[in-house]
């Protein structure tokens, strides 16, 4: 999704990636361009600069990202642009570490680095001023979201700094650096609703600071420091396990993107595919539609479909970015799959099954299926004593559920494996049927095969007239 703000003097473009709920930014003025928080693949930024006959001068990073791998190093190599971080950053590569309030000229406009620690200690907000020196917009990274602020628990250090300490620092940053700005200043955050970097984000991706002062609980004018700390730290879910590894890659470097794509898009015939899986311990990741997976898949393969919240679920469930991966993917979507894996640091894709599942069948290889039933059939099953599991998150479960369902949230499914019976069937549901198939595939990969997916999930359950709490 693209959001533009342009005049003759400057252009501001938000490049929003729904899968990661992430916003990167392209700013251009008088033939000079800057990129803020770029994703791994750099082509979109290069193309925009080329179309504007502009040179990319700066790459601004709001912090060391935990939820995705930035394209800063590749983009700098391709363009000669300077990478800029805020105070206290300690990258392992050449970069400018800005001073608080340091100003960078871009064509006819300026960008000021405003140190706003709290989410992380190097977190920095970038203030864009127009050609007249008027404050125009802030690029707030994970310091300020729409409806929320960045979680303060990712930069904790044992015996050094707690999440409460960080929350207090964030309070000071917001009150002293952000809230004094004019109400008409535009807020461009790094993430929107769906990101694990906050807990209460709005679905919108652009707003004014004035409206945020009215709508955002964390910017309430009469809020005390103690109230802020309590509200910001309350109800935080544990961060995904891949977060620290992404921070490390962003701080220390990573494999060139072109190399990742080249290796990951290697076509493998069924015999080679099977041999590599056996020799390397690679996970077979099936990224097709869930209906296709249900109908037939490689035994013990993991399903995470490209058409759902793909990258965050890969990060949360596979966790280890060093994990080798082999892909089962719909024809023509091989590069997309490898690209989206690389966005969250999974660079060790070894190739994909050439010819897909049909080639696997034709080679005489074993095929597994997943039992899936409609909500009406499930309704009849509920008349007997069956095992039902709800794999949605805490908020969804609290807002409505089946009385007989045991809560086993997908993000933490590995912690609940003992809850699933060895011999009796387990019926799984989520909101719409995507996550329940993921859960079923994980359980089957762990040797728990007697699982049944409820197609259409909780929405279909309610439509079938099944009583819910």
Q: Which of 65, 77, 58, 4 is nearest to 39 (CA)?
A: 65
Q: Are strands 55-60 and 32-36 parallel, antiparallel or unpaired?
A: parallel
- Among candidates 34, 80, 79, which has minimal Cα distance to 61? 34
- pLDDT string in tens for the chain (469-residue length): 444 555 568 999 999 998 889 999 999 999 999 999 999 999 999 999 999 999 999 999 999 999 999 999 999 999 999 999 999 999 999 999 999 999 999 999 999 999 999 999 999 999 999 999 999 999 999 999 999 999 999 887 766 899 999 999 999 999 999 999 999 999 999 999 888 887 778 999 999 999 999 999 999 999 999 999 999 999 888 888 899 999 999 999 999 999 999 999 999 999 999 999 999 999 999 999 999 999 999 999 999 999 999 999 999 999 899 999 999 999 999 999 999 999 999 999 999 999 999 999 999 999 999 999 999 999 999 999 999 999 999 989 999 999 999 999 999 999 999 999 988 999 999 999 999 999 999 999 999 999 999 999 999 999 999 999 9
- pTM of the complete model: 0.91
Q: Provide, for the chain, the percentages of residues in helix, strand and coil under a 3-state DSSP scheme, each rounded to the nearest 5.
A: 35, 25, 45
Q: What pLDDT sits at residue 155?
A: 85
The two tokens of residue 401 are 């559920």
How many Å apart are CA 169 and CA 88, to the nearest integer? 14
Phi, psi values for residue 332, rounded to 5°: 90, -5
Secondary structure element (H or E) that encloses residue 104, with its range:
strand 102-106
Q: What is the pLDDT of residue 198?
A: 79
| Cα separation values, 194 from 13, 104, 169, 326, Å | 21, 32, 25, 27
Please enumerate in sequence order all residues whose Cβ is within 8 A of that of 94, keeping only pairs 6 or more positions apart, or say none.
83
Domains of the chain: 2-245 (3.60.15.10), 255-362 (3.40.250.10), 371-463 (3.40.250.10)
Would you call 342 helix, strand, or coil by DSSP?
helix
> The tokens of 4 are what?
């533009």
Residue 293's pLDDT is 98
Number of H helices, E strands in the chain: 16, 23
Q: How many Å separate Cα 13 from the centre of its chain? A: 20
pLDDT at position 2:
47
Q: Which residue blocks in 62-188 are alpha helix, DSSP H? A: 72-79, 163-173
Paired strand residues for 286: 303, 328
Cα(284)–Cα(306) distance, integer angstroms:
14
Please state the φ and ψ torsions of residue 340, each to the nearest 5 degrees.
-70, -30
In whole angstroms, what is the distance from residue 19 CA to residue 393 CA? 18
**Which among 88, 347, 390, 345 has a CA at the least distance from the CA of 240?**
345
Determine the Cα–Cα distance for residues 427 and 434; give it in Å rounded to an integer. Answer: 14
> 2 forms bridges with which residues in the sheet?
15
Distance CA 161, CA 58 (A): 32
Rounded CA-CA distance 199/237 in Å is 8
| Dihedral angle over CA of 333, 334, 339, 345, nearest 10 | 130
Helix axes 43-51, 72-79, angle to 10 degrees: 40
Question: In the 3-class helix/strand/coil scheme, how is 408-434 assigned residue by residue?
Answer: CCHHHHHHHHHHCCCCCCEEEECCCCH
User: How many Å separate Cα 300 from the centre of its chain?
Assistant: 25
375 φ, ψ (degrees, to nearest 5): -60, -35
């Amino acid at each position: 999704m693209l959001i533009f703000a342009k005049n003759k003097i400057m252009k501001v473009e938000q490049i929003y990636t729904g899968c990661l709920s992430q916003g990167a930014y392209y700013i251009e003025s008088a033939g000079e361009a800057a990129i803020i928080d770029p994703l791994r693949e750099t082509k979109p930024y290069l193309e925009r600069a080329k179309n504007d006959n502009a040179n990319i001068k700066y790459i601004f990073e709001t912090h060391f990202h935990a939820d995705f791998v930035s394209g800063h190093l590749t983009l700098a190599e391709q363009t000669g642009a300077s990478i800029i971080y805020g105070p206290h950053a300690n990258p392992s590569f050449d970069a400018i570490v800005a001073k608080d309030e340091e100003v960078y000229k871009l064509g006819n406009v300026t960008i000021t680095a405003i140190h706003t620690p709290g989410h992380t200690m190097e977190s920095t907000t970038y203030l864009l001023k127009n050609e007249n020196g008027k404050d125009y917009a802030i690029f707030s990274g994970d310091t300020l979201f729409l409806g929320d602020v960045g979680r303060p628990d990712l930069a904790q250090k044992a015996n050094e700094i707690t999440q409460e300490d960080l929350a207090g620092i964030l309070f000071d940053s917001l009150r002293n650096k952000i809230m004094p700005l004019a109400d008409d200043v535009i807020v461009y955050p790094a993430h929107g609703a769906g990101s694990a970097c906050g807990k209460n984000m709005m679905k919108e991706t652009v707003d004014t600071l004035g409206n945020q002062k009215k709508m955002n609980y964390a910017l309430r004018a009469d809020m005390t420091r103690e109230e802020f700390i309590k509200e910001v730290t309350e109800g935080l879910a544990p961060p995904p396990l891949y977060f620290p590894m992404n921070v490390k890659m962003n701080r220390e470097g990573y494999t060139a993107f072109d190399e990742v794509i080249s290796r990951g898009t290697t076509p493998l015939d069924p015999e080679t595919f099977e041999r590599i899986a056996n020799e390397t311990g690679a996970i077979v990741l099936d990224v097709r539609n869930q209906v296709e997976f249900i109908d037939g898949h490689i035994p013990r393969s993991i399903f995470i479909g490209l058409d759902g919240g793909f990258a965050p679920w890969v990060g949360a469930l596979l966790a280890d970015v060093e994990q080798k991966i082999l892909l089962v993917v719909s024809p023509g979507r091989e590069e997309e799959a490898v690209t989206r894996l690389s966005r969250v640091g999974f660079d060790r894709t070894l190739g994909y099954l050439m010819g897909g599942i049909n080639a696997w069948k034709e080679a005489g290889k074993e095929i597994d299926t997943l039992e899936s039933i409609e909500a009406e059939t499930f309704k009849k099953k509920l008349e007997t004593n069956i095992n039902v599991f709800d794999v949605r998150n805490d908020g969804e479960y609290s807002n409505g559920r089946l009385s007989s369902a045991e809560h086993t949230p997908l993000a933490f499914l590995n912690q609940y494996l003992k809850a699933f019976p060895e011999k009796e069937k387990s019926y799984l549901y989520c909101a719409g049927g995507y996550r329940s198939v993921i859960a079923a595939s994980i359980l089957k990969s762990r040797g728990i095969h007697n699982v049944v997916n409820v197609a259409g999930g909780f929405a279909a359950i309610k439509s079938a007239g099944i009583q819910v709490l």
